[in-house]
Structure 1
């Protein structure tokens, strides 16, 4: 089975049609089983990576998305915490990336429900995180760490989408999900990226600006005394970009709009 998964993983990276075929073959339930039941075995990281690749390139149908239930989400969040000290960081970061793609899938589904004027469910990942205050510290820390080191625009956008949802949530528990030190690192990353992103990365720059607004307004940063962290640098970069007080141009398009 390990060899089979290796072949499917590498084949899917070379040809996305392989991942479409895997989805059509109703393989997701088997991958979920391997993740939940193969704890500590070498097949588990492969199942995580394979499921990530499948979710990354296509929109899941409602029946497939139903497999991503509360039990799976809490298990994965617990797995991130349990593997925080592992010498091999691959599984820890792989699980976080998988959770990010699940969030994207939930956003796709919710957007489709709104477009069809159907009942729109809540985001299960946000619900899981709000149910476990203080129990997903490693997930939060490594999320910021991954954004700080990310070179792929796609991964940065996945992280920014989740951050935006956390900081704009009506639940204070999610607004305060990150420790102050992590928020400071995030501010540093946002400022750096706003200065350094090339012109062709305008959608990504716009996404960072979208996150900066609720980051400053809804988190513990607004309660800092005597002054907000990096206040002068924030004002300088916003002035240079013409963003004013995070008044992002509404005509520039929504970087978080979900497109199937």
Structure 2
């Protein structure tokens, strides 16, 4: 690091001209590449307060590097050097430029090489550390950027056992506390990045809980569900935001991340009544609407429909909606019957949809009530839906135990549901199919 350059740029035009010269440098030796990268970081950090005051200007700066000769001719080496910088530097302006480069470069390439290299070099524990550093917390733009980098780099690949164990209960509580302190303003700098980090961490825990580790490590505690189990009354805003996001999110991968959290929340006896009743009613409305809106002739639609139905069952069985007065009893039953009625709203349905609908309609409060010979009310199974395939109780208690760190044991529909919910994924950026949009002129 002995090579340093002193810059004395008088105006913004000179700044961008100097930057263009640096990123266009042709280098044939690693030492020259290192010198050019130092020059890039030197000029950008020295003049960050003057000419890089917005996220947009930072993005322009980073893309100049990504598209310049310096990077395009030596991509792997430059990426690795910048990753090493992330691992070693503590200066906020430098961390800002480095994190921005890794985020935009990772989003820019289709083969995920940047994020894979970050994981191989052990960047995740470093990100966990940086996000909690006091100096970083004071710089809200940098803090948000590091959260976004943590989310993007974690949602396209599995975290290692060492990565997951770098997270403790205090880190999850810290993130939930941030959400509790922000507004519902979608432009809030912390609103979505923090929630998305929690969503992707839950996804990682869920996937880990369904896999037997060949390296001999035991189960990893799902600290997101654990925090909601022990501090749920303190962190209600997170639940409200999940419903808001599910209501307006049109990216399939994010919908799946939200549904996976909901699946575990409602399958865990200690969190099954985590949501306020009014919010729970809104959630039911959103799920019913989204199920109706999904087209019937798309594999992507079927996978998402199956996930919605797997989530709907523990909601119907375990939440406050299972107690009188039952919210939208007729609407729920009508929608479920519609999903298996091939002669009505949908094309012929697959066997999985039929099976999952049967499970939902097996919930006792959805059964029709009839009078027996003594005049007492009793429930009878609807002939349209068929016999119940599953009941709540031990199965969901076992799900709850697994989500808190135990490995999947044996078979059964409950274990199968966990596996299927965990396995449903979609590439970032893919939009959810919509029946309403397909009908638009």
Match of 1:214 among 295, 300, 314: 314
State the partner residue of 1:164.
263
Paired with 2:197 and 2:255, the residues of 1 have a C-alpha distance of 14
State the 1:29 CA deviation. Answer: 2.7
Q: CA deviation at 1:214?
A: 1.1
Out of 105, 108, 114, which is 1:11 matched to?
105
Q: 1:97 corresponds to which residue?
A: 196
Query: Structure 1: which 5+ runs fail to align?
Result: none
Q: How many residues align?
A: 255
Q: Could you say which residue in structure 2 is the equivalent of 1:76?
A: 175
Matched, 1:233 2:347: no
Quickly say closer, same or farther: Cα 1:120–1:2, change in 2 above 3 A: closer
Shift of 1:22: 1.2
How far has the Cα of 1:116 moved from its partner?
A: 8.5
Deviation at 1:123, TM superposition (A): 1.8
| 1:116-138 Cα distance to aligned partner (Å, 9 max, x none) | 89743432211111111311111
Q: CA deviation at 1:105?
A: 0.7
CA separation in 2, counterparts of 1:115 and 1:194? 38
Matches within 5 A, 1:34-113: 34-37=130-133, 38-41=136-139, 42-84=141-183, 88-113=187-212
What SS does the aligned partner of 2:187 have?
A: coil
1:142/1:85 CA distance change after superposition, 3 Å: closer
Quick check: which has more Rg, 1 or 2?
2
CA contact (8 A) 1:166 1:175 kept: yes
How much has 1:88 moved relative to structure 2? 2.8
Does structure 1 conserve the Cα–Cα contact (< 8 Å) formed by 2:205 and 2:220? Answer: no
Q: CA deviation at 1:34?
A: 2.2
User: The residue matched to 2:421 in structure 1 has which SS?
Assistant: coil
- Deviation of 1:231 after TM superposition, in Å, equals 1.4
**How far 1:86 sits from its partner (Å)?**
6.0
- In the alignment, structure 1 residue 185 sits paired with structure 2 residue 350: no
1:26 aligns with 2:140: no
1:209–1:142 distance in 2 versus 1, CA, 3 Å: same
Greater helix content = 1
Tell whether the 8 Å contact from 1:84 to 1:138 is kept in structure 2 after alignment.
no
Q: Which 10-residue stretch deviates more, 96-105 or 76-85?
A: 76-85
Range moving further from structure 2, 200-209 or 26-35 = 26-35
Q: Are residues 115 and 94 of structure 1, via their aligned partners in 2, closer, same or farther at CA, if it must alter by over 3 Å?
A: same
Indicate conservation of the 8 Å contact 2:150/2:197, yes or no. Answer: yes
Alpha carbons 1:108, 1:258 under 8 Å: kept: yes
Match of 2:237 in 1: 138
Structure 2 unpaired stretches of 5+: 1-94, 341-356, 362-387, 390-412, 426-441
Q: Distance in 1 between matches of 2:252 and 2:164?
A: 25
Contact 1:161 1:256 in 2 (8 A): yes
Range 128-137 or range 174-183, more displaced: 128-137
Counterpart of 2:225?
126
Change beyond 3 A, Cα 1:87–1:194? closer
How far did residue 256 of structure 1 move?
0.5
Partner of 1:2: 96
Q: Distance in 2 between matches of 1:105 and 1:74?
A: 17
C-alpha distance in 2 between matches for 1:87 and 1:119: 39
Shift of 1:192: 0.5
SS state at 1:224 partner: coil
**Matched residue SS, 1:198:** coil
Superposition deviation, residue 87 in structure 1: 7.2
